[in-house]
Structure 1
Amino acid sequence: MSRVSLEGRVAVVTGAARGVGELMARKLSARGVKVALVGLEPDELKQVSARLHSDSDHWHADVTDHEAMARVAAEVKERFGKVDIVVANAGVATGGPFVESDPESWRRVIEVNLIGSAVTARAFLPALLESRGYLLQIASLAALTPAPMMSAYCASKSGVEAYAHSLRGEVGHRGVKVGVGYLSWTDTDMVRGADQDDVMRELRQRLPWPSNKTYPLGPAVDRLVEGVERRSAHVYGQWWLRGMQGVRGYLPAVIGTVGQREMRRFGDRLEGLRTGLVGAGGAADEQRPTSATTVRK
């Protein structure tokens, strides 16, 4: 599939204060894209915006809030005149045994990763239909295979994958392309936050190669940007993830067997495992205002 020039296009990136979203914004901006940054950390968003090469602006909003995101969409359209690209990247994570998990943190992962992605699409689809644009939904290796101690994250990423596939079939005839981006463990605040717990770090290190590695952020985001340029249906942040599609049907049974063995191995060490949201982004989400706000530069 040939690439299209991104020069002069307008992109919205959620979860843009750090990690994948921040680097996506920078790399899109370097290609001449005007970028609207959306997230929960206004100071960080302002700093990211100031470093971009092209025209940009930022909005402080909770992606799970329908009214806030509708206002953001209207203001982005007013500010830039159009929207060509939406990268639904905002996400949080928690880990640990489901039976001992914090119900609010577990629910929040589903709300941000799945509901927030749908709210984002609902807000911006009218503009994408006008521009015959492209929506890239960021999913994960967690959408391809289940993993013990990650029930909320796996459920949310499986959900956004299925939702994005469904949406692709609905809007394709109207010129809007929908892609799903898959990432393995990538060097972000979220992954580093999860690794602060000894048990979660050791469990991840015991995964089979190549899923037990932490991959550099830059090459993964380069692949995502190439997916935007090609308006791809599937984008893989690490080369080997494409091959997982062919074996994913066998993985639940394998993980179910291997997972039992690993849970026995760690035994009593699982007691008292922290189950809140991980990383700096998780901390920002836990400190979010209870009422929706949108703040522009």
Structure 2
Amino acid sequence: MSAAPCGPLTGRVAVVTGAARGVGAALAQELSRRGALVALIGHEPRELARQTGALPGPGAWWEADVTDDSAMERTAAAVRERLGPASVVVANAGLAEGGPFAESSPATWRRVVEVNLVGSAVTARVFLPDLLATRGYHLQIASLASIGAAPLMSAYCASKAGAESFAHAFQAETAPHGIAVGIAYLNWTDTDMIRDLDRHAVLRELRGHMPRAARRVYTAADVAARLADAAERRSRAVYVPRWLRAAQVARAALPAVVTRVSRRELPRLADRTPFEATGLLGAGGSGDPAGRDR
């Protein structure tokens, strides 16, 4: 019989959005292993129930759209009533699409921005009373795309850069109240969102033209362990992989470099394999209300 976990998260309430799949589901499991009471929020009731049932400790799930202020207010109140005030909130819910901006669906483009940016702000807003009460920790899931924008991923890059900027502002505002805010910069992670990327020329070529080290795909479990470490340490930034920190130093030069390479490579690649809009990616994208509607 294994000993009960005893650490900074033991007995604390941790909220994870986008918890039905991928990094969110893996993080919910990892936080639970470290003794947290986990609230899973997402769109897919069957997957949320399955993930909650597999938790090693107590937890519960709620179906909610992170862009719906009223639904998220009700969810935050329900989490508070059932589990207690949140000490850790992870704004993880996210969508992605690929393809030329000119050919993208305006509705799909807007949905990516709404979930990744507006949904993150809504999550922070509804759980802010809990974080004030617990002097808690808010972790915003960002991306390498927050640091260096890529062609053919305009909605994702814009939304993740916006989420990063929001987190910096939120960090400055809440620091006097004892709240810690962190930003997680992630690269390719083995989730439903990218698992079938080779089916889409836009993503296959995007990844193929990155430096060799930047093409590596990390497991969701490994990423979740690093994110849980950040929650325990109340880290202001976490980079997975660690070398992404170096991209911060080079970020001022990245737009010019990306533009130079794109000017040369995009016409050649488009001649060989015409780029097409992917729509919302992965099973999570299909499970999103906008994905189901289409």
TM-score under structure 2 length normalisation: 0.94
Instruction: Provide the alpha-carbon RMSD of the alignment.
Output: 1.6
CA distance in 2, matches of 1:263, 1:221: 34
Residues 277/284 of structure 1: CA separation in 2 closer, same or farther (3 Å cut):
same
Specify the alignment match of 1:293 in structure 2.
none
Secondary structure at the residue paired with 2:11?
A: coil
CA distance in 1, matches of 2:250, 2:191: 27
CA distance in 2, matches of 1:206, 1:77: 46
Q: How does 1:1-297 map to 2 (within 5 A)?
A: 5-269=8-272, 271=274, 273-286=276-289
CA distance in 2, matches of 1:277, 1:286: 11
Higher relative contact order (CA 8 A, sep 6+): 1
Q: Which runs of 4+ in 1 moved over 6 A?
A: none
Contact 1:13 1:88 in 2 (8 A): yes
Query: Residues 244-291 of structure 1, C-alpha deviation per residue, up to 9 Å, x if partnerless?
Result: 11111110110011112221121245646133101000001145789x
Query: Residues 218-247 of structure 1, C-alpha deviation per residue, up to 9 Å, x if partnerless?
Result: 222211111111000001121211111111
CA distance in 2, matches of 1:184, 1:257: 22
CA distance in 1, matches of 2:283, 2:291: 12
Residues 143/209 of structure 1: CA separation in 2 closer, same or farther (3 Å cut):
same
CA distance in 1, matches of 2:73, 2:155: 27
Query: Residues 60-82 of structure 1, C-alpha deviation per residue, up to 9 Å, x if partnerless?
Result: 00000000000000000001121
* Structure 1: stretches of 5+ with no match in the other structure: 291-297
Paired AA for residue 285 in structure 2? G
CA distance in 2, matches of 1:247, 1:35: 37
The Cα of 1:203 is off from its aligned counterpart by 2.8
CA distance in 2, matches of 1:289, 1:220: 28
**Percent of aligned pairs with the same residue?**
54
TM-score under structure 1 length normalisation: 0.93
Secondary structure at the residue paired with 1:245?
A: helix
Paired AA for residue 212 in structure 1? R
Q: Once structures 1 and 2 are overlaid, which stretch shifts more, 205-214 or 156-165?
A: 205-214
Secondary structure at the residue paired with 1:264?
A: helix
Q: Once structures 1 and 2 are overlaid, which stretch shifts more, 257-266 or 92-101?
A: 257-266
Contact 1:69 1:120 in 2 (8 A): yes
CA distance in 1, matches of 2:197, 2:159: 17
What is the number of equivalent residue pairs in this alignment? 288
Paired AA for residue 149 in structure 2? P
CA distance in 2, matches of 1:245, 1:202: 24
The Cα of 1:194 is off from its aligned counterpart by 3.2
Contact 2:24 2:93 in 1 (8 A): yes
Q: Once structures 1 and 2 are overlaid, which stretch shifts more, 137-146 or 188-197?
A: 188-197
Contact 1:189 1:280 in 2 (8 A): yes
Paired AA for residue 140 in structure 1? S
Specify the alignment match of 1:295 in structure 2.
none
